[in-house]
Amino acid sequence: MTPNELEGHAETLELINAELTARLDRQADSTAKIDTKAVALAGYVVVAASFLATQHPQPVLAGLAYAAYVVTFGLSVFAYAVGTYRDVPDPRRLLNHYAKRTKPEVLGVLAAERVKAFDANARRHKRKAQLWRISLASLAIGVTLMVVSVAVHTSHHGSTTRPGPGPSGVGSPTASVTKSVP
């Protein structure tokens, strides 16, 4: 657009910039929420692993649960740490390059830069969300394995086999009774 054409669209450019600014703010807020969830998952996995360490779980299932916890923790940290949020405008560049330009020219440049920033942030946001979802699935697998490993191992300690009367109530040297131990 020529400078004269920009002058005629100053109000439209202001509206577009206001919408783009609001959209970038919502995007930043959503990214911050994913970061918070990723940190919460990392903390939860530390607590779950600590709990599992205090139990007497079935070793193979516990090992698989620990492996899922390691994956969860790693992905959560990576989701939190992946990239930085791109913000516009760069204050120094805005002042140095656009201070003497007309309002519509500056609004046009700002709109274009905000679109670029939104696109760059959208890719990062999508990646963070994917990492968080995989981390959540890994945590669910780990917790399931933990519960099963504790339940399986504990169920072997909950009963004893002793000689006693058979099912007909008549004693037999080979008969046994299972009695729950409190």
12-65: pLDDT as tens digits: 888 988 999 999 999 999 999 999 999 999 999 999 999 999 999 999 999 999
Q: Would the pLDDT of 111 be above 70?
A: yes
156-166: pLDDT as tens digits: 665 555 555 55
Q: Could you tell me the residue range of the domain that residue 123 belongs to?
A: 3-180
d(CA 77, CA 41): 9
Q: Is 169 left (phi over 0), alpha (psi -120 to 50) or beta?
A: left
**Measured between alpha carbons, how far apart are the two ends of the chain, in Å?**
84
Domains in the chain, number: 1
Query: In sequence order, what DSSP letters do the residues of 22-38 get, joined into one string?
Result: HHHHHHHHHHHHHHHHH
80-110: pLDDT as tens digits: 986 777 777 777 887 888 888 888 888 888 8
Note the helical H segments in 55-178. 59-81, 91-98, 103-157
Residue bearing tokens 């509206």: 15
Per-residue confidence (pLDDT) for residue 168, from 0 to 100: 56
Record the pTM. Answer: 0.71
Which H helix or E strand runs over 180? strand 171-180
Among 139, 123, 137, 142, residue whose Cα is nearest residue 62: 142
